[in-house]
Each structure stands twice: as C-alpha cells, then as structure tokens.
Structure 1
Amino acid sequence: MKRILRLIALGALLTGLAACGPPKKSVFPPTVTIQEMSVRPDGQWQLTVRIQNNSYAGMEFHSLDGELKIGDGVPVRLHASFDLDIPSFAGDVTQINILPTNEMTTAIKTLAGKGSAGSLAYSLAGRANAKPEQEKVARDFNFHGNDWFSPVPGIPNTYR
C-alpha cells in the first residue's frame, strides 16, 4: 500500500512540475535618455532618444509619452509612436521632433555661445509602452532621468 501511495505521489509531483513551464524572465523599467539634440532650421528640435532595455527578456517598444524640461523651465510634451524590438540588455534609438518654448530656445542659444565648455541641465520623465517577450499584452513602464546638454565641437546646432 505504501508503495502505491509513493507512486501516486511521485506521479502527481511530476505532473505538477510539467505544468510549470519555463521560468519567467525578470522585467525592469527601461532607461530613456537623449543621445543627441539638433536644432533644425525651422526652430524645431530633433531629439535622438535612446531606449535601453534593462530586462532579462527582450521587449517590443511601441511608444513614449512624457515631458522634457530644460533647467527650471516649463516642460514640453514628448510623444512618439514606433515599433522597436530591443533584445535584453541592449538599446536602440528613435527620433522625436519637438517645438521648444521661447525660454528653451534662449537657453540653448546661450549655451551655444559658451562653446564646448558650457552645459545645460535637462530632465526627461514619462512612460514607455512595451510588451515583454513572455507576456501577452503591452504595459507602461515609468522612466525618469536627469542629464546635461553640451555643444558638440565642430558640429553647429548639435548637442549631446
């Protein structure tokens, strides 16, 4: 009788383990930064935004929705839709055009006058919409970061 109970328990255990499937990979919020900013002739800013996937799973990124704030000024809306499939621990870029405020335009002109010795603080905050590879639906991931713009030597109207 004990032997039959052991076989039943072993069978139930094996069935339970088979139903578990592969382990889920850990998913973490991405890091979103501005890799480069160029002032276009029409006054718009073209941002090259880098999305760094910090997860153990690949993710399909669909959109960014947030705001860019220069110094202590009024933020401007940052929004873009795209399709980027970013593997685990890798990054990719997308370009977003924004119309800066007068205050932002003045600040970047002042920075340009200082040359490569100048820098200008900015913050970037919002949500990135992405679908991790082991999930069925996309979800939002919050991001927030602070960094600096500095003129790129030899390339006018370009900042990194």
Structure 2
Amino acid sequence: MRFLRWIVPLSLALGLVACGPPRKSVFPPTVNIQQLQLQPSGAWRLTVRIQNNSYGGMDFTGMDAQLAMGDGVPVRVHGSFERDIPAFAGDSVQIDVLPTLAMSKALAASAAKGSAGALPYTLAGSVRAKPEQEKDPRDFDFSGKDWLSPAPGIANTWR
C-alpha cells in the first residue's frame, strides 16, 4: 500500500511532464562579412551573413556591431531588418557603413595586391532575435575575425 502511494503521484507527474512540447535548444548565431562592395560615394556596402545555430527558427530584427580592419579604429555597423531564419540555416542582409580614412587606405592597398591582397577584419557586437518558443526578443553577442580578399574579375568587391 505504501508503494502505491508514491508510485501513483510519480506516474501522474511524469505523465503531465510528457504532455508539454519539447523545448528547442537556442544557441548564439554566427555573423560574418560575406562580401564588401565599394560604393561610388566612398561608403562600403557590407553583405553580412547571419547563421542560425539553433534547433528552432529565429526572427532577426537588427544588428549593432563594430568593424575594425587590421589594428585600426573600428566603425559602427548598425542595421534594422526583418529576417525569419529557420533552424541551422543562414541568410544575408546588406548594411552600408562609412569607413575611416585608414580603413579606405588599407582596402586600396589590398586591391593593389590583386587576389593575393588579404585584409584581416574583426566584427563584434550583437544581433537582436526572437527564438520561436520565446515571447520577447533578446540580444545575442558575437565576435569573429576573418579575412577579405579582392574578388577576381569583379571590380571594387572583396569576399
């Protein structure tokens, strides 16, 4: 009888837990520059790739980051957008930035070397997203280092 008193409530509790939907794990996204295009005005048009690393879809609404070329002074990379990115998928957004004079010179030096001219960059900040099982959006921090090289045959473009 004593055994039944504890097994019945435990069985009921386990049954109630099993009724709810499983929670999907949420992981920070990966953000990097897919392409940089030099605009006639001198601004840079960045194609930024956002990779959703979570088990559920997320609605991305904005980014606020700092871009630095080499050891130079960083510039702000800020954009508002609406992207619904499914689980383990990625999408791109375009954001225009105004580079510093030192950044423009570094890019020109890279272009002068042709396809051998690799330019290191650091992109760090946060993206705002709402995971599919949450009510409110939140900020996900990211930081990454990579290289940009002139795209062969495409003027004023680095990848």
TM-score bracket for the superposition, by shorter chain length? over 0.9
2:123 matched to 1:124? yes
Q: Counterparts of 1:125-144 in structure 2 under 5 Å?
A: 125-144=124-143
- % identity of equivalent residues: 58
2:106 matched to 1:107? yes
Name the structure 1 match of 2:64. Answer: 65
CA distance in 2, matches of 1:10, 1:25: 29
- Note the aligned Cα RMSD (angstroms): 1.7
CA distance in 2, matches of 1:152, 1:87: 29
CA distance in 1, matches of 2:7, 2:105: 75
Name the structure 1 match of 2:12. Answer: 14
For 1:69-117, what per-residue CA distance to the aligned partner results, in whole angstroms no more than 9, with x for missing partners? 0000000001111110001110000000000000001111111110001
CA distance in 1, matches of 2:45, 2:12: 57
Name the structure 2 match of 1:95. Answer: 94
TM-superposed deviation, 1:143: 0.3
Name the structure 2 match of 1:56. Answer: 55
CA distance in 1, matches of 2:6, 2:133: 33
CA distance in 1, matches of 2:97, 2:14: 54
List alignment gaps of at least 5 residues for structure 1. Answer: none
Q: 2:12 corresponds to which letter in structure 1?
A: L
CA distance in 2, matches of 1:8, 1:114: 76
Q: 1:121 corresponds to which letter in structure 2?
A: P
List alignment gaps of at least 5 residues for structure 2. Answer: none
Helix, strand or coil at the partner of 2:53: coil
TM-superposed deviation, 1:22: 1.6
Name the structure 1 match of 2:158. Answer: 159
Aligned residues: 158
CA distance in 2, matches of 1:78, 1:114: 26
Q: 1:17 corresponds to which letter in structure 2?
A: G
Q: 2:99 corresponds to which letter in structure 1?
A: P
TM-superposed deviation, 1:43: 0.2
